[in-house]
Structure 1
Amino acid sequence: MPGPLLDTLKGANLARRPIWLMRQAGRYLPEYRELRAEKGGFLALVYDTDAAAEVTIQPVRRFGFDGAILFSDILIVPYAMGQALEFLAGEGPKLSPRLIDRTLDSLDEAPQRLHPIYETVRKVAAQLPAETTMLGFAGSPWTIATYMVAGEGSRDQHDTRAFAYADREAFAAIVDAIVDVTVEYLSGQIQAGAEAVQLFDSWAGSLAPAEFERWVIEPNAAIVAALKKLHPDVPVIGFPKGAGEKLALYAQGTGVDAVGVDETVNPAWAARELPSSMPVQGNLDPLLLLAGGAELERRARHILDCFADRPHVFNLGHGIGQFTPIAHVEYLLEVVREWTRDA
């Protein structure tokens, strides 16, 4: 029997809103920090399928969230495409060789690096309560390409944006290859038990409108179309962080079933401008959850009220911060669960 999250993603406008939080499986939880200390590095933890399944389930066990988001990383795709991946303390992820220096053909594909992730999904799906939706995910092609080209994250994606302007053909080949692997990856997660999937485009906001259409909308539309042929009943959530006024075009052009809204978007505008029947997800500021207090309740209720007339999944506008107090998460859950659409 599907739970409230899956029902909402399929278009049900429920009186009580389902809730999950991006990055809910992770370092703000003491049980995660304990397990991480025991297991060592981040990538080792991701590839220890028992441990990764445990991390995925931890926030569901503690808070009773309506969805469990796979514990993994968006850079598993370039890792499977043949780049070396390491996570350096205090520096973030590093990929090599950088595709600004080398061609895509120089990489030796390693699709076997996807298989342990599927095993994690299987293990989580077998343990979740029936009403809790198993969520898989992948990074969207533009965001993945920024890391593959530059070898690391950056503030404005300067190197990748310049590369995309300078050599359209080479950059298109990179994006097309990412699309193909992402379809395989998400399809594998679905076959393993994911009931819905999310595409994270964390750096979508760095692109000019025409570039946004070419490198965000077109590749995501290709992924969604391919997944719909393979798994027509599995909802796809698109999350183009920073899209702003381009969010409506994204919602219409990609074919996603639901759209994630970041904290910079006015929820009243989103409720008005997005397709009327489309489920939306979001969009509390993670820093407000960190701060807590009366403003947290006021803003959460405002978001709930703005989206009252459409299917809505309550979530943050981006990932939960590592220093967020557990008590603030518990308080937010009380606010969301007490709110009803007809109140």
Structure 2
Amino acid sequence: MPGLLLETLRGKNAGQRPVWLMRQAGRYLPEYRALRAEKGGFLALVYDNDAAAEITLQPIRRFGFDGAILFSDILIVPYAMGQDLQFLAGEGPRLSPRLLDHALDTLESVPERLSPIYETVRKVRASLPVDKTMLGFAGSPWTVATYMVAGEGSRDQHDTRALAYRDPAAFQAIIDGIVAVTVEYLCGQIDAGAEAVQLFDSWAGSLSPTQFERWVIAPNAAIVAAVKARHPQTPIIGFPKGVGEKLPAYARETGVDAVGIDETIDPVWAAGALPADMPVQGNLDPLLLLAGSDDLEKGALAVLAAFSERPHVFNLGHGIGQFTPIDHVERLLAVVRGWRG
């Protein structure tokens, strides 16, 4: 029997709202911090199937969220494409060689780096209650490419945007390579037990409209079409952060089943601008959850009210902050679970 989250992603507008939080498996949980202190670095945790499965399940045990999001990282795809990947304390991820200085065809792919992730999915799905949805994910090609080109994250994606203008053929080859691996990666997760998947495009908001069409909409549409050809019943959530007024075009043209919206989007505007009856996910400000002020309940209720006429998955507008108090999450869940449309 499908759980509430899966039914909502398939288009059912239930009176109660399913809820999960981006980055819900992570540093704000004391049980996660304890396990990481025991096991070591982030990448070691991702590739330790027992540890990764345990981390994925921790927020389900504590809060009973409707979905378990795979504990992994969007940079597993470039890692499988042949770049070296390191997570440096206090500095974030590093990929080498960076494609600003090296051609894509100089990389030697290592597809076996994807296989351990599938085993984590299998372990989690075997342990999840039947009414909880197993969520897989991947980074969208534009966002993944920004890390591959620059070798690290950046505030404005300057190097990658410049490369896309300067040598669009070379950049298209990078995007096409990411698309091909991402299709296999998502299908592998689905084959292992993922019941829905999300495409994260954290840096989609940095592009001009024409570049957005080429480097966000087109590659995401290619991924969705290819995954749907093999897994037509699996919902795909698209999360293009920071895209503002370009959100309706993304929702219409990529073929995603549901669209996630960030905290900068007015939910009332989104409810009117997005395709009718399309499931929407979001969009409480993570900083409001962190603050836990008297406005927390008001903000959650405003999001719930805005999407009351369509299928809605309650979530944050981005990932939960690492210093978010546990009792703030519990307060939020009480509001969402007590709401009836």
TM-score, scaled relative to structure 2: 1.00
Aligned to 1:97: 97
Alpha-carbon displacement from aligned partner over 1:127-148 (angstroms, at most 9, x marks no partner): 0000000000000000000000
Question: For residue 191 of structure 2, what is the aligned residue in structure 1?
Answer: 191
Q: Which runs of 5 or more structure 1 residues have no equivalent in the other structure?
A: none
Equivalent AA in structure 1 for residue 234 of structure 2: V
Question: 2:315 aligned with 1:315, yes or no?
Answer: yes
* CA apart distance, 1:293: 2.2
The amino acid across from 1:153 in the alignment is G
CA distance in 2, matches of 1:105, 1:306: 48
Q: Which amino acid aligns with 1:111?
A: P
Q: Which amino acid aligns with 2:23?
A: R
Deviation at 1:257, TM superposition (A): 0.1
Give the structure 2 partner of residue 38 of structure 1: 38
1:157-236 equivalence runs, <5 A: 157-236=157-236
Secondary structure of residue in 1 paired with 2:86: strand
Give the equivalent residue in structure 2 for 1:133: 133
Instruction: Write the distance in 2 (CA, Å) between the matches of 1:211 and 1:332.
Output: 37
CA distance in 2, matches of 1:234, 1:106: 35
For structure 2, the 5+ residue unaligned runs are none
- Give 1:29's aligned residue: 29
CA distance in 1, matches of 2:288, 2:301: 13
Map of 1:2 onto structure 2: 2
Question: Superposed, which structure 2 residues align to 1:223-262 within 5 Å?
Answer: 223-262=223-262
User: 1:74 deviation in Å?
Assistant: 0.2
Distance 1:299 1:276 in 2: 23
What is aligned with 1:327? 327
Q: CA deviation at 1:156?
A: 0.2
One-letter amino acid matched to 1:141:
P
SS in structure 2 of the partner of residue 19 of structure 1: coil
Report the Cα offset of residue 172 of structure 1: 0.1
For 2:151, the equivalent position in structure 1 comes to: 151
Whole-Å Cα distance in 2 between the matches of residues 61 and 205 of structure 1? 34
Aligned mates of 2:19, 2:96 — CA distance in 1:
37
**Partner amino acid for 1:170?**
A
* Distance across 2 between alignment mates of 1:220 and 1:105: 22
Aligned residue identity for 1:222:
A
User: d(CA) in 2 for partners of 1:173 and 1:285?
Assistant: 36
Q: Secondary structure at the match of 1:71?
A: coil
Could you tell me how far 1:339 is from its partner in structure 2? 0.5
Amino acid at match of 1:7: E
Rounded Cα–Cα distance in structure 1 between residues aligned with 2:102 and 2:271 = 44
Structure-2 separation of matches of 1:228 and 1:243: 24
For 1:177, the aligned partner's letter is G
Counterparts of 1:296 and 1:272 in 2: how far apart (Å)? 24
Distance 2:314 2:294 in 1: 18
Show CA shifts across 1:261-308 (max 9, x none).
000000000000000110000000000000012200001000000000
Residue in 2 that maps onto 1:80: 80
CA distance in 2 between partners of 1:278 and 1:17 (Å): 15
Please state if 1:57 is matched with 2:52.
Answer: no
**Which residue in 1 is equivalent to 2:294?**
294
Letter of the structure 1 residue corresponding to residue 301 of structure 2: R
Task: Give the CA deviation at 1:2.
Answer: 0.4
- CA deviations on 1:103-131 (whole Å, 9 max, x unpaired) are 00100100000000000000000000000
Q: Distance in 1 between matches of 2:335 and 2:314?
A: 11
CA distance in 1, matches of 2:115, 2:38: 23
Instruction: Supply the AA of the counterpart residue of 1:277.
Output: D
Partner amino acid for 1:64?
G
2:271 is equivalent to residue 271 of structure 1: yes
Partner Cα separation in structure 1 for residue 40 and residue 107 of structure 2: 28
Cα distance in 1 between the residues matched to 2:198 and 2:122: 17
Code of the residue aligned with 1:263 in structure 2: it is E
User: d(CA) in 1 for partners of 2:152 and 2:262?
Assistant: 23
SS of alignment partner, residue 93 of structure 1? strand
Q: Aligned letter for 2:88?
A: L
- Offset, 1:11: 0.1
Query: In the aligned structure 2, how far is the partner of 1:45 from the partner of 1:196?
Result: 23
Report deviation, 1:5.
0.1
